[in-house]
Every structure is written in C-alpha cells, then in structure tokens.
Structure 1
Amino acid sequence: MRADRLVSLVLMLRQHGRLSAAELARELEVSTRTVLRDMEALSSAGVPVYAERGRHGGFALLPGFRTELTGMGDDEVLALLVAGSRRGAQLLGLGPQLSAAMLKVVDALPARHRGAASDVAERLLIDPTTDLLARRESFDDAPTEAMREVRRAVISGLKLRIRYLPAAPVEARSDTPAMRSPTWRTVDPIGLVTVRDHGYLLATKSGEDRTYRLSRIEAAEALEERADRPDRVDLGQVWRERSEAFRNSGDLLTVDVRVNPARRIELASTAVAMHDERVEGDGWVRATATFQDERHAIWALWQLGVGAEVLDRPELRAAVRDRAAAVLAHYDEEAGAVPRERAKDG
C-alpha cells in the first residue's frame, strides 16, 4: 500500500507541479503527518523532491525529473501496444491523441522494455486497412472538428447542436441515391459508444431517447446551456436497453433462414440481429434474422447468393429468385446467348 502511495505522490507532483501537504493528504486520504513521512522516504530513495515554505509553498519535484513505469511485465507492455491500435479511439476522433499517448507511455518504460517494445511493434499488425482479399475496411468516421465538439459536450455535460444526415434506405446505397438532407437538432448527450466499426452518440431529445451514428454528424456545436441528464449513468445498461428496444420495435422484419456456416458472419454483420441459432445435421446454421424491412432483407440475402436460404417468407424467396433471373437474362443477352454448357466450361 505504501509503495503505491509513493508512486501516486510522484505522479501527482509531476502533474500539478506544486502541492501542499494538506492537498496531498486530502487526495490520498491520509494524514498530513503520513505525507511528510512519505516525502522523507522519497528523498532518501533519491527522488529530487523539495519543500518550499510560505503561504504559497508546498512540495515539488526538481524540473526535468523523469519517472519510469516500473514493475511492468513483458505481457503488460505487449497489452499496451495492442491497446494502442484499438479502433474505438479512431471512431471517437482520438486517433492522433492515442498515438501520441502511446509514444509517451513507451518513452516512460524502463530501458529494457523500450528496446523490446520497438522490436515487438515490428512483429504485430493490428486491424490493417485491408483484409486478405484486399477489401478496404468499412470504417465510420466523422469530421475532426465535429467530434471535438461532441466530446466536449458529452464530457462537460452541455447541450449539443448537431447537423445530422439521416440514414438512406439500404438498397439505395447500391442503386438509386435516396433524397436526403441534413437537419440541425439540439440534443442532451448521454455518452459515446463504439461497436465494431461504428460509433454512436446516445442522447435524448425533448426527453425521448435518441441514438445517432457519429459518421452522419456533419457538424456540431457544444452550447453553453447545461444538458438535461442524470449525474450518473450506467452506459452499458443504457446501450442494452436501447438495443433491445430497437430489436423489438414493430417496424422490424424477422425471417427464418438457413445460412452456410462460412457465410454466417456476413449475414450477422448485415442483419440488425440474429437469434435462436442452431446447427442442423448438414452443418448449416438455422436462425431467426431481423432486418429493417423487406427491402433490407432482400438486399442482405442477395449478397450471400446460394450461401443462405429464406425458409418462411414466400414473398422474399420470390423476390430473390426474380432478381437472380433478371441477372441471368441480362448476361445471356450480353454474351449473345452463349450456351450454358460452354459458359460452364469457362
């Protein structure tokens, strides 16, 4: 306990520059006499701490004193390096700050770890921008200035004004662009959440729950007015409640499907949710998939080709079949009605 307190003392002095014994005692929840004894111990151990007397006096460290992060194992250093690559910081607009912080952490490591950290960094690549098939990652991103204002409002408890672009229908992303226009709205921010490659702002508007994709916030302004929100929040619980409410809303469509296990992740990533999964005798996964609407379901299932099958909705089966027939007819015309036997032979 005392070793931890001594480290805390040094870090507090590094951060604040000069603190009185009473201030240190209050922060550490010990007596001023204990602080004085700890200061003597630090001085005896070679830490250049000194006392200044007078009304504005206190304890301080000599300028230029540098501390090291001691007591860290090799795996702890490795965990820090891996943590520095997490996508959450990028989603929240903190990518450059995280990189700078990690450099400072590595610089503060003991000498034997600094060299090893450099070697380890060359052997680990976390979350590259493309996968093995050279597909670029789909990554939410918001304007840096907008994210700075969003973070300020969330952390400081201020009302937030955002210029928000609503979502387009799913099929419009690959066919005809939807007519959308951003609008300004004022919200009471609750917190920020990152899920996979997406970032969300949880807020309320006129007392009603609202969830906004960070990538659709084009501009933001933290206002001076205090946000109407509770002082304490269990963000994990709030997210679970909103996720459940969204899945159970009457506007969603549930479909009984079978999916090739090799394509399951693709379906799970495009559907709103997947429930009641079970493996059948042939290895395929049977599940209940939830989609935004019928168009979303058709679009998502079409991406999987013969890797998925709708079981309970004849209208969806017919829609996917009709789309496949239209594609086949198109390519038969383009190729001059090449016999399928020749086409199959390549």
Structure 2
Amino acid sequence: MRADRLVSLVLLLRRHGRLSASALARELEVSTRTVLRDIEALSAAGVPVYAERGRHGGFALLPGFRTELTGLTPDEALALLIAGSRRGAQAFGLGSALASAMLKVVDALPDSYRDTAAGAAERLLIDPESDLLSRRLVYEEAPDAVVAGVLRAVLAGRKLRIHYAAADQGPEWRTVDPIGLVTVRDRGYLLATRSGADRTYRLSRIAAVEELAEPAERPDRVDLDRAWQERSTRFRAGGDQVTVLVLLDAARREELAGTALAVVSEETESDGRLRLEVAFQDSRHAVWALWRLGAGAEALAPQWLRTALRDRAAALATRYGSVTAPPTRPRPPA
C-alpha cells in the first residue's frame, strides 16, 4: 500500500509541478505527517524531491526527472475497465484505485499530449453532486469493508456469508454463492445464488460479510447484462404490481417511463397524445407517479386510480378554495 502511495505522490508532483503538503495529503487521503514521512522516504531512495519555502511554496521534483513504472496493479486495471462511470468505481470501492490508475495513465502520455488531455478533462463533467435545481443527488452507500469483502469473494469465486437485512425485516446471516456486482443509478447490487436459487441483494443492506474458503458454486463464465435483465423481468412480474392505462402528453413520456417499472404497450392517438399501458410496483406507486404529472396525464383505468386522483385533487381544491389566505400567527417578540 505504501509503495503505491509513493508512486502516486511522485506522479502528482510530475503532473502539477509543485504541491503543498496539505494538498498532497488531500489527494492521497492521508495526513500531512504521513506525506512528510513519504517525502523523506523518496529522498532517501534517490528521488530528487526538494522543498520550496514561502507563501506559494511546496514540494517539487527536479526538472527532467521521470519515473519508470512497473505497470498497473490489478485493482487499478479493474478500475479503468469500469471507468466509464466514475460512480461505478466508487460503488465498488475502487475510487482510490481509479484515481491512482488515472495518474499513471496521464504520466505515460507524451508531453505534447499530456497538457491537451488535462485541458480536455477540465471541460467534461460526469454525474455532478446536484442537478440544475440544486437538488442534491442521494446515493446509497455501503461500508467500505463490506464492499471490499463482497468484491474479494466475487473475484476469488468463494462462498460468502452476509449479514443482510431485507426490506421490513431484521438482519440475518445467509450463505450465498456470489456471481457478480451491478450498479444501477448509483445503487449497488450483489447477484448471487442461495441453495441454487437466484438472489439479488442491495449492498447498502449488507451490514457485515465473511468470505469462506469453500469455492462458490457458479458457472465459469457469466453474462451479467443478460442475468440482470432476466432478474429485472422476474421482479416486475411478481409482488403486488398494478398495470394502468394512461392517456399522456407526448412531451411527458420519458418522465412517466422514468418512474414506472415498465411500459407494456404504447399507441399514438389522432391528437398526438399517447395511450400507454404502464406497470407500477403497487397502487401507491401508481397514484404518486400519475399525480406528479398533473394535467399532462389522465388515468383511464382502473377506476380506483381515477377515484384516488380525483379525491386528492378535490382535497387540494378545498384547501385553496378561499380567495384570501388565512391570517398568519404573529411572531413572538425577539
């Protein structure tokens, strides 16, 4: 671990030219004291690191110094393979490995390309922390030790004990055969089998893990995309799901599809509106999804959904039926 950190430290100095101890500590996710010890270790090993004092000082490498890298670590290579989604790397506990790997990739570029690549990267932002309305995006997080333990078992092909809490249930230990990991909209899932039956577990609901020595019972090769689609189809077909018929403004189609489980059928009416048959998780889900579309959608069936939406609209109309607002309470004296 320290050897990787020392390499990352050198690459950071090569990329930025000069960095303070506190800036290096933030990048490497260690203390400034650790950075100072690492600087001493590099100097003792013959790496020409020198300190510049003053307000804009910091640590730098002698001009012309270049490292000889032995190659990417397995975690770094894995992080690059899923680097199409930075949050995917974060979800699988590979965020620091991805950062380290990208430093090595940038350092390996010819000098003439390096500045161009850095400039281009500054102009691309993927998955910011909030949307245009400043609504902070909420991501499910699992403990780092849990994610690391699950990942090890998946890659090593060993059975796994997980302390898992299903929805509305207390946690209990289960022994599973891990197949793979999937991240969807920043939510991580473990695909596994238990006693031969397919099971899907949310990483955020796993409190603890224990990798067993026994090999997992699973095929040598797996098509995760196909496995996920098959499990999604089975999930949509079970439980208390409801199917509703909706007349929808065409401009709101993606908004509705984004909240529904599935669009079962779709036709275009003569006036340009869409007639959709849509599946929802349950009745509460259907009422919520149609209500948020306002006048842009009309539930045609079933009747209970039309009644629920009508009653909700009537209650709101009653609340705001008065032209004038009710008097407000006076504020207490400061």
Q: TM-score range by the shorter chain?
A: 0.5 to 0.7
Structure 1 residues 297 and 165 mapped into 2: Cα distance closer, same or farther (>3 Å)?
farther
Runs of 4+, deviation exceeding 4 Å: 82-85, 331-334
What are the Cα deviations for residues 249-303 of structure 1, in whole angstroms up to 9, with x where unaligned?
Answer: 3642211223333433332222211232333333333222111221221222223
Shift of 1:165: 3.1
Partner of 1:105: 105
Structure 1 residues 211 and 137 mapped into 2: Cα distance closer, same or farther (>3 Å)?
same
- What's the % identity of the aligned pairs? 59
2 CA distance for matches of 1:87 and 1:235? 18
Q: How does 1:113-124 map to 2 (within 5 A)?
A: 113-124=113-124
Partner of 1:335: 325
Shift of 1:226: 2.0
Asked whether the 8 Å contact 2:83–2:89 carries over to 1, the reply is no
1 CA distance for matches of 2:321 and 2:174? 51
1 CA distance for matches of 2:184 and 2:259? 14
Partner of 2:276: 287
Report whether the alignment pairs 1:232 with 2:221: yes
Partner of 1:271: 260
Q: 2:201 aligns with which of 212, 219, 227?
A: 212
SS in 2 for 1:121: helix
2 CA distance for matches of 1:138 and 1:260? 29
User: Aligned residues, how many?
Assistant: 253
2 CA distance for matches of 1:139 and 1:282? 40
Q: 2:230 aligns with which of 233, 241, 247?
A: 241
Partner of 1:28: none
- Report the AA paired with residue 204 of structure 2: S
Q: Which runs of 5+ in 1 are unaligned?
A: 1-62, 69-79, 168-178, 338-346
TM-score (norm 1): 0.65
Structure 1 residues 309 and 182 mapped into 2: Cα distance closer, same or farther (>3 Å)?
farther
Shift of 1:148: 0.5
Partner of 1:305: 294
Asked whether the 8 Å contact 1:93–1:144 carries over to 2, the reply is yes
What are the Cα deviations for residues 91-137 of structure 1, in whole angstroms up to 9, with x where unaligned?
Answer: 22222222221121111111111111111122111111111111222
- Report the AA paired with residue 139 of structure 2: F
Asked whether the 8 Å contact 1:93–1:142 carries over to 2, the reply is no
Asked whether the 8 Å contact 2:241–2:282 carries over to 1, the reply is yes
SS in 2 for 1:137: coil
Report whether the alignment pairs 1:65 with 2:68: yes
Report whether the alignment pairs 1:201 with 2:204: no
What are the Cα deviations for residues 2-30 of structure 1, in whole angstroms up to 9, with x where unaligned?
Answer: xxxxxxxxxxxxxxxxxxxxxxxxxxxxx
SS in 2 for 1:283: coil
- Report the AA paired with residue 191 of structure 1: G
| Larger mean Cα displacement after TM superposition, 318-327 or 203-212 | 318-327
SS in 1 for 2:176: strand
Report whether the alignment pairs 1:156 with 2:159: no
1 CA distance for matches of 2:252 and 2:205? 29
2 CA distance for matches of 1:197 and 1:301? 25
Partner of 2:88: 88
Structure 1 residues 308 and 219 mapped into 2: Cα distance closer, same or farther (>3 Å)?
farther
Asked whether the 8 Å contact 2:179–2:193 carries over to 1, the reply is yes
Structure 1 residues 67 and 229 mapped into 2: Cα distance closer, same or farther (>3 Å)?
closer
Q: 2:179 aligns with which of 190, 194, 203?
A: 190
Asked whether the 8 Å contact 2:83–2:98 carries over to 1, the reply is no
Asked whether the 8 Å contact 2:178–2:191 carries over to 1, the reply is yes
| Larger mean Cα displacement after TM superposition, 323-332 or 202-211 | 323-332
SS in 2 for 1:311: strand
Structure 1 residues 308 and 164 mapped into 2: Cα distance closer, same or farther (>3 Å)?
farther
Q: 2:309 aligns with which of 309, 317, 320?
A: 320
Shift of 1:234: 2.1
Asked whether the 8 Å contact 1:67–1:108 carries over to 2, the reply is no
1 CA distance for matches of 2:254 and 2:181? 25
Asked whether the 8 Å contact 2:236–2:281 carries over to 1, the reply is no
Cα RMSD after superposing both structures: 2.9
Q: Which runs of 5+ in 2 are unaligned?
A: 1-65, 72-79, 328-334
